[in-house]
């Protein structure tokens, strides 16, 4: 079993807000992050699988790159995360971004890449890093 990680980058804006809270509760909870602001995010997607004898690959990275661009990066890059289709009605935290990316990719990886999604990791800043391994 080999794990492979592909890195992508995206730049997006977000606003941390719970629409069920009052203005004051949102300010108290999210502080400056209640304002729209942006990050240069890095996304690391790790898949795992057995090496195919015919190709020497677990999966073709070209195909993983294409799936990431089609289903994730093209939807997030230079957008407001709160308005992205797979983030609708969710708080636009990086925790929730990780889970949403996992949910978007899981079946794609399984069906099109013949391997298994292992981890979705998002760096929001160089100091704040989020990882999701699915619900085990
Ligand atoms: Ni932020």
Sketch the domain layout of the chain as residue ranges.
2-132
- Write out the two tokens for 117: 């999604």
Identify the three-state secondary structure at position 31: helix
pTM exceeding 0.85: yes
Query: Residue 118: what pLDDT?
Result: 98
pLDDT at 75: 98
**Cβ burial, residue 25 (10 Å; 0-12/13-18/19+):** exposed
Q: Domain spanning 2-132: which superfamily?
A: 6-pyruvoyl tetrahydropterin synthase/QueD (3.30.479.10)
**What DSSP designation does 128 have?**
-
Dihedral sign for Cα atoms in the order 45, 117, 65, 58: positive
120 strand-pairing partners = 45, 132
For the question of residue 33 being annotated catalytic, the response is: yes
- Calculate how far, in angstroms, residue 98's C-alpha sits from the geometric centre of ligand 1: 14
List the pLDDT tens digit at each of the 136 positions of the chain.
Answer: 999 999 999 999 999 999 999 999 999 999 999 999 999 999 999 999 999 999 999 999 999 999 999 999 999 999 999 999 999 999 999 999 999 999 999 999 999 999 999 999 999 999 999 999 999 7
Q: Given 3, 25, 78, 131, which residue is catalytic? A: 78
Paired tokens of 120: 């979705």
């Amino acid at each position: 079993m080999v794990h492979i990680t592909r890195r992508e980058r995206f730049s997006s804006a977000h606003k941390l807000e719970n629409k069920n809270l009052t203005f004051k509760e949102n300010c108290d909870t999210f502080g400056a992050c209640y304002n729209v602001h942006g990050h240069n995010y890095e996304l690391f997607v790790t898949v795992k699988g057995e090496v195919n004898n015919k190709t020497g690959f677990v999966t073709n990275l070209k195909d993983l790159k294409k799936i990431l661009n089609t289903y994730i990066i093209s939807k997030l890059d230079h957008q407001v995360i709160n308005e992205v289709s797979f983030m609708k009605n969710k708080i636009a935290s990086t925790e929730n971004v990780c889970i949403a990316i996992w949910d978007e990719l899981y079946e794609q990886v399984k069906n099109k890449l013949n391997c298994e999604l292992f981890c979705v990791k998002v760096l929001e800043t160089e100091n704040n890093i989020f990882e999701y391994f699915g619900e085990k």
